[in-house]
Every structure is written in structure tokens, then in C-alpha cells.
Structure 1
Amino acid sequence: MLRIAWQTLRRSRAAFVGAFVALLCGAAVLTASGVLLESGLRATVASERYAGATLVVGAQRSLRPPGGDVTTEVRLPEPVTLSEEVRAAIAKLPGVDSAVGDYRVAAAVRAPGSATRPAAVSGHGWGSAALTPLELVDGRAPESDSEVVLDAGTAAAAGLGVGDDVEITVRSVPSLYRVSGISSPAGGVAFPRTSPVYFTDREAGRLSGHAGHFDAVGVIAADGADPEALAEAVAHAADTPLTVREGADSGALEFADVGASRSLLVLVSSAFGGTALLVVVLVVGTTLGLSVDQRRREFAVLRTLGSTPGQILRLVASEALLVALVGGVLGSCAGFGLAEFARGLFVRLGALPADLPLAFSPLPVLASVALTALAAAAGGLAAAVRPAVAGPVEALRESASPPRDTPRWRRTVGLVFLVLGLSTAMVPVTVRGELGAAGTGSAALLLVVGVALLGPFLLRRLLAPAAALLRRSRVSGFLAAAATEAGLRRLNASVTPLALALGFTVTLVYSQSVVAATAQEQADRALVADLVVADTASGGLAPEVVDAVRSAPGVAAVTELVDTTVFVPYRVFDDVDLATCPARGLRGADPAATVDLEVVDGDLADLEGETFALERSSANLMGLRVGDEVEVWLGDGSERTLRLVAVYERGMGFAAVTVPLEVLDGHTAADAPTRLLVRSDGDPEETAAALGRLAEEYPTVSVTDRAQAAEASRTEAELAAWINLAGLAMIVAYLAIAVVNTLVMATAGRGREFALLRLVGLTRGQVMRVVWVEALLFVAVAVLLGTAVAVVPLGVLSLAFLGGPLPAGPPWVYLGAVAATAVLGLVSVLLPARLAMRAEPVEVIALRE
């Protein structure tokens, strides 16, 4: 059968061009999704400070709750340290020459008396210098806790040398140290990412806040040791789970932003990869259905000659698989370039570091080829069932006059998809946030699938009024109405991708604008403080800085704030799942003086000790009420039992979970508040001036007013929206290609019809007018259906989030999408129609069908 299918493909290349293009582009999108997903799992950057280590050991930064499967495993966003006991156990292993613990201290450096803002650096103990290794180009190692070694680049930028004093700020508090030495990596090549400052090991432990617990342990192997065997031994050296990487491949352990970027890639690629798969299946199925429909006469002849339904179905499946294999392989190669383009978008948005490369392997290619082959086989078989099972006489009759009724099974399944789409559209009513907005996009996609399955059944009823009007018009209108009613299957195949492109694009853009507008509105209302004091350069705000702000003139209330993530378990049937919740820790005598979360149950005043507050829709989703006790996991994997004391409304603008700051003490990277919300008891400008003078004493501290804080919040919300849009841009581009491909394919297959019209007396211009009327008609139907599938989900989302049916965002987005849809539709129909009529009608009619 494969040999016959191959011969059919070689003889009838034109019939399979559209399917080939759809499969090729679909494989490219799926491969790009797979590459981004794989990169999120294993991409890294070259190690710098650990380049001389044989192995680098870190704590396992993943969490899987008891009773959960592999799909519930999440990455921990906060650092997890290793104890001195673990380091000592590793050092005792055979084949280990030394095991060096490394502290990481967020710090900032400048010359004493300088008016410039301190430059961010990374502080470490001098003992970890052996892991690079480093060379002292001047001076000596630090011998007292008041001495440091500076990186050569840092020293040159600050204009410092050996013997000079240097101001180093940690947790906003500046201290003076003496420069005892200047270091440089072996070979004199500067670090592209790191600007290290080396303290004594004891001072680095003190500044880290967790002396005796290391951020990582570097292992230097003894001469002759087998690295693979040593890595296996190190992984089992302690009771706690460990992550072991080779020194040159330990960038994810060395750089925190690499781990965060990898998590983002996994999240984005998983989200739009699933959507891309559904879109590809729909587009490929529609395209192959059109291809099979154009070959009904061929199948009718085969049935007349004695071919069985099974033989025809196997032939169609074989043809689809062959086209899918060729298109899938070629498309997968293009997918690598598409993934690199997507990475570039994320880099320009600031979501990924520029030096984080993609991880390439054959796995995404194999997966995309397999998926496109399955989609092609399923689409081809579904379209070929009717002509294959029809009797020979019935098959010949249907080849001349295709059936106009939609099969009952398609109507049933289509109605099921419509019900599912409408049900999914209601998700934002009960679920606020990104999850609810994701339901909006899924609803639009399900509704389009339902419309595509209902096919001629739906189109006939939509077109009946227009067809009745056209029959009363000139010849072109009459013929357009007749052609439209006779070719409902072709029209359905043309309308589906056009409606999907419009509906999906409009839903995608406006759902993001609704989420951003809601988050911004809630953030504006949640923040009632007059000023915000922050430090993001030196690891947070030390207690003495907090006390200084509290005692500043005009300050009435201060609330300490820390951002983190917590994980709340909940059950789905009998399975345990984890809800990943953005969280904030609060500490202050009166949080209500600086934040208004619109509490709907309980009281934020009870937020002390082992308690927490939860956003309303999350509480409803998890079935939690005030007073319930819940086992939660903090950002570093620590398990705590917290009691729910309040449920509030403004989770999107603040955080889904709010906990007392003491619950987070010792469990966040900064281990200190990063922001202070300040309420003034008088003129906020005078209070801001007083805090500004305080900031001169603490050089990494910044003071902003409510308007500036709101602008920063708006920028964060817009960035999140752009990241989602960039991740889904490939799907929109694929839809545009699919629209052009399907319409060109449908129009090019009408060459004999156009030739026949010209032979019975119509001029080329009259035929083109008929095509114009048809094109305008089906574009109007596509716009109507695309708008309809977007209106319901967006209306529900806007009502739930904004309180009104109109989504946030400029109207030109919708108008532009409609204009683009019209241009794509008209050009994709009119241009191939004009090309199809360049040949003489007699020549076209004489060609073998």
C-alpha cells in the first residue's frame, strides 16, 4: 500500500501541496515548542567561578508532595542550603581531594565618598577561590574580617587598588573594608557574568546570614579519580537529596537567573505547546479533509473498480503518513530556527538572559514528526470514511454532487465542543488570575472546533438570508449564491482557519489586556501607603534600616514586605496537586494602614504566627474556609502548617497568598524585607524628603511615591502580558499561513469550474465578479464566526475581572484583526482565481481530473 501511495503522491503532487504546507509549518511550531521545553529542562550557561571544580553539589531544588506523581513536581524558587555536615561527608569520600563550601552574598561596591550608585557584586569566602581557580595579580589573600580581595574589573571600575578602603553595602548597610588583593581568573580572561568580591570565609558566612550552611559545595577530585564514579558517590553521600553537576556544566547552580529563566521556558512552552498541538490538529484535519473532498471522483472510481473501504482507508492513511513524514522532517529543521527566533523575543523583553543558549537534541524532532503523522492519519481517515464506505453507485453520485447534510456524528461532537467551550468560558467567574484567563483562550479554541465540526449544517443557516438576496441580484450574485450553497464543504474548510485566526488572536490579545488592567487596578487600590522604600541591589533591608525608616520624621506606619512563592496542596479526585501561589510576607503593627486587600472573610489583624491569608477564588477552588489548617510548602521546600485567617479579593494586584513575615524568616534568598510600605502622618512630600536624606546614608536604598510604585507595577503587568503574547506569536503566525494555504488550495481546485463558466459564455471579468462576491460573503461569515467565538469568553472574562462586558484594550486591535482577516481572505482567493483563469478554458477542461 505504501508503494501505491507513493505513486499516487508522485502523480498528483498538486493535490497534496496544501496538506504538505500545513504539516511542514505545524511540525515547525511543534518542534520549536519542544526545543523551548527541553531548554527549560536542561539549558545552562558556562560556569565561571566553578570552572576549576570537578563537581559542584547543590541541594535538590524540586518538590513533589506525598501522593503526587511526576506531573506535580515543581521547582523551588528560593535557595536551599547544604550543611557543614554534608560538606564534611563529601570531603571524606574516596577520590575527593577537597570539598569547599561556597557562600553567596548579594552586595554592592563603590569607592568611599563616591557620589555614584554602588555597583552590584557577588560576595564569597576566599576559600571558594580554589574552585575557579584565581590568580592574585596584586597583593595577598584576606587575613582579617576587615579585608577583601576585589576582582580586577571591579577594582578598575571603582578606581581602587591594594591598600585602599572600599565601601561594601550588604542589606543596605555600608561598611568599610581594606583591599588586600586584586584577583583575576587564570589566564587573565574576565568573567562575563560575575563581579566577585572575596571576604574571609568567616565574614562571608556572617554576611550570608546562614553561617555553616553553604549555597553550594565544590569538589576537587584527587589525581586518578573517575569523575563518573565520584559523581555517583557524591550524590549518595548524605541523607538529603543532592544535585551534582560537572564543574563546567554547573551554570544553573551558580547563577540564580538561569534557574528562573529555565522555569519560565518550561511554563511558557508547556502552555502554548499544548495550544499549538490542538491548533495543528485542527488545521491539518481541515486541510486533509479538503484534499480528500477534492478527490471524491477518484475514490468513486476506485470503489466502482472493486476496491474495498479498508483499501481506500489504508491508501489515504498511507498517503497522509508519507506526506507527514516528509513535511514533518523538513518542518522540524525549520523549527530549530523558529525556536531561536522565539528565544530572541524573550531576550528583548528581558525575560531571558542573552547568554542562555537553547538546548538542541533529536527528541523534539521525533516528537513533532510523530504528532504530525498521527494528526495527518487521523484527519485523512476522518475525511475519507464517507467516500470509502459508500457503495459504488452512491460514491459516483456523491462525487458529482457531494452530500449537503452534515453527518449526525459530526453534529453531535460539534455540539459537545460548543458546550465544553461555553462551560470553559465560565471559568473566570470562579477562578481569578492567570488560570482563569487561560480558560478564556481554551474556550475560544473549543468553540472554533465546534463550529468546524458543525460545518455545512451551521453555514447553510447563516448563508440562507444572504443567498436569498443574491439570487435577486445580477448574474454574478446569482452564481455566487449557487456556488456557495453547492460548495458548503469547501466553504467550511475555508472559513474554519479564517475564523480561528480572528477569534484566537482577538481572544489572546484582549484576555492579556484584561488581566493586565485588572492587576493594575487591584494594585492601585491595594496600595494605600504614601511611599515605598526598596533595596534590590544588596540583598534587602537590614533591621537597622527598617528602624531608621520607622523613626524618620513624618512616618506614621511601616509595613515590611518580602516577595516569594508558596505551594498549597489540593486534591483533584484522588490525586494530589500543588497550586503555585505568588506570596508576600508582611510585618507591621498595622498592615491595614499601608495595604487594603478588600478582605471578604476573616481579619488581616489576625495575620501573626503560623497563619496565612488567601485570595478568594483560590480559596474557593481549594475548598478552604477561614479557620482551616493547611500543610503548605515554602519557597525553599520547608513544610509548615498554617491556619487560614482571612480571605481577600485583590490577589491579582498584590499576591495570591499573604503570610506573616516571621513565617518566611530564614526561608528566602534575602532573608530580609526588600520593600517597606510607608504611610505618612502629614505631608507625604516632606516625609519623602526626610527618607531621601536617609537614603544618602544607605546608598542602595531608593524612595518612590505611590505614582512611581504604580508605574512600576504597571510595567511588570505589561511585561507578563508581552511574555505570554510572544510565546503565542508562533501560533498566530502559523494560523495566518494556514489561512493562506487552505484558501489557495480551495480556490486552485476550482479551475475546471471556472473554465466551464467561461465556456458557457461568461467573460473572465464576470467570473472574477462571481469570485469577488463569494470571497466577500465567506470573509463576512468568517468575521462573524470569529467574533462570535471571541465575544462570549471575553465578555465573561471582562464581567468577572472588570465588572463590565467590554474588555480592556484599544478597539483598533479588533479592527486591525478584522482588516487583516479580510485582506488575507480576499487575496488568498482572488489571486489564485485570477491565476487559474490564465489558461484557455478548453485546455483546462481537457486536462485529466
Structure 2
Amino acid sequence: MMQLALRTLRFRAGLFAAAFLAMFFAAAMMMATGGLIETGTRSAVAPQKLASADVVVAGDQEYHASGGDPDEPPILPERVRIDAGLEDTLSALPGVRETTSYVFEGKAPTGTVDAIGVVAAPGTDVDELRKRIDAELDDRAVTLVGDQRGQAELREAKASAVTVMALAGVFTAFALLVSVFGVSSMLALSITQRHRDLALLRAIGATSRQLRRLIFRETLMISLIATALAVLPGQLLGRFMFDLLVDRGIAADGVVFHQGWVPTVAAMAVAVVAALAGALGAGRRVSRIKPTQALAEVSVDGRLIGGGRLLLALVVLGGGIGLTIVTIAVMSGPLTPATGAPAVILLAIGAALLAPVLTKITTFVWQWPVRAVGGVTGQLAVLNARGRSGRLAAVMAPVILLTAVSTGLLYLQTTSDEADRRAFADNLVADAVLTTETGFDARAVEQVNDLPGVAGASEYIDSLGFIENPKDSSPLNEGWNLQGVSPVGAEATTPVKITAGSFADLHDDTIAIDEQHAERLGVDLGDAITLRLGDKTALDVRVAALFSAPDDYDTLLLPADTLAAHTTAGVATRMLVSFKKDTDSAQMETELTDWASAQDGLAVSGRDVLLGEFDDQKRTANFAIYIMVVMIAGYSAITVINTLASSMTARRREFGMQRLAGSTRGQVMQMVGLEGVIVALSGVVLGTAAAVAILVPVSVKRLDSLLPVGSPWIYVTTVALTVLLTLGAMLLPAWRATRGRPAEAALAVE
């Protein structure tokens, strides 16, 4: 059987080319996303100032007491500094030649530094020295060696690595679903196109087991070659994707891209297993039929859909429906796409798995317009679609996936973005913003508040923190938003209404909290709360005020100077200003600008600047989503071309016999074009249905609208490109297949 497999690959290479390409691109895509995961896991940053240090002691940017997954602790947003006195302790340790303290950003509070570099004495084992140093550290500090040393210099490295790893995990999951489905479908179509060969082997005495072994070995050889050749392209694609993330600021510039043997071997294994599963599943039926029935069954499709495929389709659709329900009932705010996106993928794959059944329905619907337009040729196209529903389903599946992924994921993101922007705009009470790089003078806030027409002015600084006592778990254990405000203008510049206490009491170590959150925590006015701030400092605060706020306002308010002391910058660099309702905003901005011009280093801008910054942040975050859409849609488009071209090339003999029976080449091309219309429109309709199934509920929940938000050109462009791609992938190979003489084509091997 091995000899026969090799000969088949040699003399029927065209039949295996499409399967080879499907496995090649699938493996390259998964290797690339696997490389991103490894890059995030390693968090390697080449040290610059710390290059001479063997061991670096720096603040631990991870918060391990959040109550979440201990293997994925939240990353603190501020620079976690360490005690400067630790340098003397480390210098006295055996094996230490010298120590040096470093401050990399901002002005460190007195008695603290950003990192301490430790140089080992000659002959000292670095691992042993690291253990000695670890024994002297508290929970605020960690030791770094090797490529991790650079994390002390580049504070953003840890957070960006976690972001890259999370995004890569999503990329990999989606790529895995799409590529496994694409490879399996392509192998199934390849086996289906070889039914005549396999049936002939059964008729001359080959056993079912021998056929299965033949298919297994053919597929194994193709998949091993395809995945091996995908190693270099996979590395290049992974590096290209990572560079894009760096350019957009999603990944920190300085983190080193790594793609070792683990993601490479894992991607190869997945591609090979998917290929073998698809090939053996498709070959099982032809290997089981009786030899006397084998040749009789090659001309038309047999059973509409197998039991295993039907069961898998129902499971996948069930998963998609389940995620849709979770999206509607549980998820909210920016978290909505977390379950909405995979729901789109699963619904699309479920519809593609049911394509053999759905093809019958869509062909029945399209038969009248196709017959009306094409006449006799249209009638032949409809009969072909009916008689080859299984093969038609195989070429329609990637069209469904392409349409659903492109429209579903893009509109899901644009709808969520619009909902987030509206919520941000509703919570943005300020009319103008004052900015400075060095912090505000103590009298600046009072002076702005005293200006005619000003309803209130407050310093603004934000961070992230955790409530440690009373026991609390913030949403997904990711912490609470902390905002520093000035007591005199806080109520006028925030979307809150005081219900107990007063902002006048918000000074020193105090806090203002939403009354619903306070009730859930079991605290009231005057009670104590222990916070873990963004620089890992524990701070006991007293509840000075309770307020009511919009449902999506998960923010704790602290005095600006208190919060600023626990941020990397150390000062508030912005002041929010609200105008009275009966004033002219443009005139007020002019007067505020006149006042600011007399101060040093102050600049005035409107609220549009904050809205613009929010939009920029969204665009940056969404870029990763767009990369994922392009990657999945690109692979789906390749699969569409691959599948359709393979299907058309395999019909050369059929076209030749049709022309010998009297059809002209033009009529054959017209028939193929009408078949392409059936495939394209059916795939677009089913893909759209899969996308709408999640888009409508999400849009209703977040925007109270049945229609998702987004440019209609997204859908128009997707449909137009899908139709053109489908028709091109069918007509060009058909044109090539009908170039020769009909008699020669009729004798061609299928």
C-alpha cells in the first residue's frame, strides 16, 4: 500500500495540490499564532542599562491576591518601586561583587528605587545567588535574570506580554477552529473526487482495511511535507503580526519575538491530525461499500449527510447558541465580544457542517430565477447542483465561513464600540480640559472654580486598584477604576449625585463610593476600606461620601493628591472643567484660555479631545481584532479559491463529454457561472444568517436597536468580494479545463 500511495501521489499530484495548500496555510497560521503565545509567555526584553547585572531586583508588577486565576494574576498599572535600603542588604550577601540602584521613569518617592542591579562575584553560581537574594525579599520585589532583566527597565513589557498572550490565545482558538474545519473539508472533497479510483480498487479485490491504510498513508505523507514547508512562512507570518502589534502600541516596543519548537511542533501535529481525521472520515464510506456497488455509486452523491457529521453540526450549533445566550444574559459592556466573537465562528461552522442539507433548500429556492435567466443552461446548472449536493456543499462551506466571519466580527466590534463611546460620552460631564506636564499649583483649582461661568473644576488622575477588605471580587477580578478628584469641583465634573456625606470631606485617606457597591460590600459612611493601589501599596481609607451613578460607572473616587502619590507620574496632569448651563461654551473656552496663558505650561482643549483619545484607544485595541479578521477571512478566501478550483479542475472530463453531446464552450461556461451564482448566493445568505443570529441580540442589548452599527459598505464590500471570488475561482479553472479538444477532455482522468 505504501508503494501504491507513492505512485498515486506522483501520477495524480493535481488531485492532492488543493489538500496540500490547505494544510500548508493552516499550519503556517497556527505556527504564527503559537509564536505570539510563546512571545507573551517569555516576556523577553533585552536589557540596556541593566546588561551588566547578573541578577536584577525589581518591583513585582503582578497582584496575586485578586481572587482570580493564580496562573494569570492581574498586572498593576503603576511602577511598583522597592525599598532603597535593600541595596545595603544585598551588598552584604555572599557572592555579590557590587550593586547599583536605578530609577527609570518619573521621580521616585524618597527611600524608593525602581530596580537594583546585582553583579555576581567571580566564580559565583547565578542560580545560587538568586536563591540567596529571594530569601531577603518581601512580596513587593522579585528577581529577574536573563532576558527577563529588561522588564525592570520597560515597565509596560509585562502588561503588553499578557495582552499579546491573551490576543494570541483568541487568535489561536479561532485559527484552530477555522483551519481544522478547512483542512478536513478539503481532504474530504479530495477523497470524494477520487471515488472512481477507490471504487475500482474495491471492485478488483482491495479490502476496506487496505483502502483505509492507503488513504491514511497518502494523507500522512502530504501533511508531513506541507507542514514541514510551512515552518519558515509560519515564523515570518508570526513576526509580521507581532511587528504590527508593536507598531500600533498593543505590544511594547522592546519585547523580543520568540517562536521556538513547541508552537511549531504543536501546529504541525494539529494540522496532521486534522488532515488524517478528515481523510479517514471521508474515505470510510467508500471503503465500506460492497465491491459490486462501488462503481455504480461514483456518478452521483449517495446519502445526504452522515450521522457523525450531523451530530457534530448539532454540537457546534449548540455551542454557538449557548454562547449567544451567555452574551445576551450575562456579558455586558466591553466584555460582550468575548463571547459574541466565538459564537459567530461556531454558528458559521455549524451552518457549514449542515451545508449538504442546506444546499438542497437553497438550490430549491434559487432554481426558478436561475432557470429564468439561463434557460436550458440554467436548467442544467440546477440539475448539477441537485445531483452533486454533497460536492456543492463542500465548495459552499468556505463561502459561508468567509461571509460570517467578515461581517459578523466586524459589525460586532463596530456595534460594541458605538455602545462604549455613548457610555463614555454620557459619563463625561466636563466641557473643557486643562493639561500640564508638571502638575497644578495648589491654588489653580480654586482659581478656575472662581472664574465666572464655571460650574466646577477638579484635578483628574486615574489608576487601578483592588478592594482587599471587606472581601470583594471586582468584575473578572481585574480591579476597580480609581479616579482622583478635587473635593471642590468633583460633583460638577463627574456623573454622580451625592446621597450621603459630602465631597467636602474627601481629603487625605478617604474615598467616595457608589451606594450600591457600598451595600454589597457591607460598608456605610465612616467605615474603613482597605485598598491595594496600582503601585501595590495597601491603603486604609474611610468612606467620606456615597453617591448614585450610572450602571456602568464602576469607579471609586479618591482625593487627587492621595491617588497621585501612588502613580508613576506622581502628579495629576489634567484638570476637568464644567461650565454653567446658561453660558456659551466657545466663549468660556476663550476666557479659560486667556487665564491659562498667564500660567506656566498650561494648555486648554475641549471635551472633543477626550472623546478623540477614547476613539484612538479603541482603534488601537480594535487593530488586533482586525488582524484576526483578516487572518481568518484570508484563510477562508484561500480555502474558497482552493476548493472551487479543485472542484472545477476535476470536472474536465464532464465538460468534455458535455461538449461532445452538443454544448458549446460558451454554454459550458454559462452553466458554470450559474452554478457559481448558486454557490455564492447560498453561501452569502447562510453566512449572513449566522452573523445576524448574534448581531441582532447584541445590538438590541447594547443599543436598543435591531440593526447593528457600522458602515453598510462593510457588508456590501464583503458580499461583492465573496461573489467575485467565488465566480472567479469557478470560471477561470473551468475556462482552462475547456481549452482543449472535447474528445481529449472526455478521455481525461477525473
Distance 1:604 1:515 in 2: 36
Q: 1:93 to 1:545 in 2, by over 3 A?
A: farther
1:34 matched residue in structure 2: 34
Q: Look up the equivalent residue of 1:82 and give its one-letter code.
A: I
Residue 660 of structure 1, aligned match among 555, 558, 575: 558
Per the alignment, in what secondary structure is the counterpart of residue 50 of structure 2? coil
2:336 matched residue in structure 1: 436
Q: 1:567 to 1:829 in 2, by over 3 A?
A: farther
Identity of aligned residues (%): 30
**1:279-314, CA deviations, whole angstroms, 9 ceiling, x for partnerless residues?**
111111111111111122233233344544444334
1:580 matched residue in structure 2: 478
How do residues 678-757 of structure 1 correspond to structure 2 at under 5 angstroms? 678-681=577-580, 684=585, 688-689=589-590, 691-692=592-593, 695-696=596-597, 699-757=600-658
Per the alignment, in what secondary structure is the counterpart of residue 403 of structure 1? coil
**1:115-165, CA deviations, whole angstroms, 9 ceiling, x for partnerless residues?**
xxxxxxxxxxxxxxxxxxxxxxxxxxxxxxxxxxxxxxxxxxxxxxxxxxx
The RMSD of aligned alpha carbons is 3.5
How do residues 497-512 of structure 1 correspond to structure 2 at under 5 angstroms? 497-512=398-413
How do residues 165-244 of structure 1 correspond to structure 2 at under 5 angstroms? 207-208=107-108, 210-240=109-139, 242-244=141-143
Q: What's the offset of the Cα at 1:794?
A: 1.5
How do residues 353-432 of structure 1 correspond to structure 2 at under 5 angstroms? 356-429=255-328, 430-432=330-332
Q: 1:80 to 1:780 in 2, by over 3 A?
A: same
**1:450-507, CA deviations, whole angstroms, 9 ceiling, x for partnerless residues?**
1122122111012113335656762211110111001111111111111211111111
Q: What's the offset of the Cα at 1:810?
A: 1.4
Distance 2:573 2:551 in 1: 21
1:449 matched residue in structure 2: 349
Per the alignment, in what secondary structure is the counterpart of residue 474 of structure 1? helix
1:73 aligns with 2:69: no
Q: Look up the equivalent residue of 1:297 and give its one-letter code.
A: R
Residue 290 of structure 1, aligned match among 189, 193, 196: 189
1:16 matched residue in structure 2: 16
- Could you say which structure has the higher helix fraction? 2
Per the alignment, in what secondary structure is the counterpart of residue 124 of structure 2? coil
1:772 aligns with 2:670: no
Q: What's the offset of the Cα at 1:742?
A: 1.2
Residue 346 of structure 1, aligned match among 245, 260, 278: 245
Residue 424 of structure 2, aligned match among 519, 523, 534: 523
For the Cα contact (< 8 Å) 2:300–2:388, is it kept in 1? no
**1:721-752, CA deviations, whole angstroms, 9 ceiling, x for partnerless residues?**
23421344222222221211111111111112
Q: What's the offset of the Cα at 1:436?
A: 0.8
Q: 1:645 to 1:226 in 2, by over 3 A?
A: same
Give 4+ residue runs of structure 1 displaced > 6 Å after superposition.
601-608, 629-632, 639-647
1:493 aligns with 2:394: yes
Distance 2:191 2:53 in 1: 61
Distance 1:631 1:690 in 2: 42
For the Cα contact (< 8 Å) 1:437–1:797, is it kept in 2? no
Q: 1:71 to 1:256 in 2, by over 3 A?
A: closer
Q: 1:372 to 1:695 in 2, by over 3 A?
A: farther
Q: 1:227 to 1:768 in 2, by over 3 A?
A: same
Per the alignment, in what secondary structure is the counterpart of residue 703 of structure 1? strand
Distance 1:343 1:780 in 2: 36
For the Cα contact (< 8 Å) 2:596–2:603, is it kept in 1? yes
Listed as ranges, the gaps of 5+ residues in structure 2 are: 524-528
2:526 matched residue in structure 1: none
1:56 matched residue in structure 2: 56
Per the alignment, in what secondary structure is the counterpart of residue 250 of structure 1? helix
Of stretches 401-410 and 497-506 in structure 1, the one that deviates more from structure 2 is 401-410
TM-score under structure 1 length normalisation? 0.78
Q: Look up the equivalent residue of 1:423 and give its one-letter code.
A: G
Q: 1:104 to 1:319 in 2, by over 3 A?
A: same
Distance 1:641 1:414 in 2: 55
For the Cα contact (< 8 Å) 2:449–2:457, is it kept in 1? yes
Q: 1:460 to 1:71 in 2, by over 3 A?
A: farther
For the Cα contact (< 8 Å) 1:56–1:247, is it kept in 2? no
1:823 matched residue in structure 2: 724
**1:203-243, CA deviations, whole angstroms, 9 ceiling, x for partnerless residues?**
xxxx42x3223221111333443444333433343243744
Q: 1:254 to 1:521 in 2, by over 3 A?
A: same
Of stretches 441-450 and 17-26 in structure 1, the one that deviates more from structure 2 is 441-450
Q: Look up the equivalent residue of 1:390 and give its one-letter code.
A: I
For the Cα contact (< 8 Å) 2:68–2:477, is it kept in 1? no
For the Cα contact (< 8 Å) 1:68–1:576, is it kept in 2? no
Q: What's the offset of the Cα at 1:425?
A: 2.7
**1:388-446, CA deviations, whole angstroms, 9 ceiling, x for partnerless residues?**
33333344433233214212343343234334323323444342233212322222211
**1:699-734, CA deviations, whole angstroms, 9 ceiling, x for partnerless residues?**
454322223332332232233223421344222222
2:696 matched residue in structure 1: 795
Per the alignment, in what secondary structure is the counterpart of residue 710 of structure 2? coil
Distance 1:771 1:239 in 2: 73
Per the alignment, in what secondary structure is the counterpart of residue 673 of structure 1? coil
Per the alignment, in what secondary structure is the counterpart of residue 382 of structure 2? helix
Per the alignment, in what secondary structure is the counterpart of residue 798 of structure 1? helix
For the Cα contact (< 8 Å) 1:532–1:705, is it kept in 2? yes
Q: Look up the equivalent residue of 2:9 and give its one-letter code.
A: L
Q: What's the offset of the Cα at 1:367?
A: 1.9
Distance 2:440 2:597 in 1: 14
Q: What's the offset of the Cα at 1:372?
A: 1.1
Distance 1:604 1:341 in 2: 55
Listed as ranges, the gaps of 5+ residues in structure 1 are: 107-206, 570-574
For the Cα contact (< 8 Å) 1:534–1:675, is it kept in 2? yes
Q: What's the offset of the Cα at 1:818?
A: 0.8
For the Cα contact (< 8 Å) 1:530–1:706, is it kept in 2? yes
Q: Look up the equivalent residue of 2:286 and give its one-letter code.
A: P
**1:639-660, CA deviations, whole angstroms, 9 ceiling, x for partnerless residues?**
7899997785463xxx654453
Q: What's the offset of the Cα at 1:12?
A: 2.4
Q: Look up the equivalent residue of 1:810 and give its one-letter code.
A: S
For the Cα contact (< 8 Å) 1:440–1:507, is it kept in 2? no
For the Cα contact (< 8 Å) 1:795–1:805, is it kept in 2? yes
Per the alignment, in what secondary structure is the counterpart of residue 298 of structure 2? helix
Distance 1:352 1:758 in 2: 59
Q: 1:811 to 1:83 in 2, by over 3 A?
A: same
Per the alignment, in what secondary structure is the counterpart of residue 557 of structure 1? strand
Q: Look up the equivalent residue of 2:96 and give its one-letter code.
A: V
Distance 2:82 2:100 in 1: 11
Q: Look up the equivalent residue of 1:381 and give its one-letter code.
A: L
Q: 1:505 to 1:403 in 2, by over 3 A?
A: same
TM-score under structure 2 length normalisation? 0.87
Per the alignment, in what secondary structure is the counterpart of residue 516 of structure 1? helix
1:87 matched residue in structure 2: 87
For the Cα contact (< 8 Å) 1:626–1:647, is it kept in 2? no
For the Cα contact (< 8 Å) 1:560–1:676, is it kept in 2? yes
1:677 matched residue in structure 2: 576
Q: 1:211 to 1:464 in 2, by over 3 A?
A: same
Q: What's the offset of the Cα at 1:33?
A: 1.0
1:318 matched residue in structure 2: 217
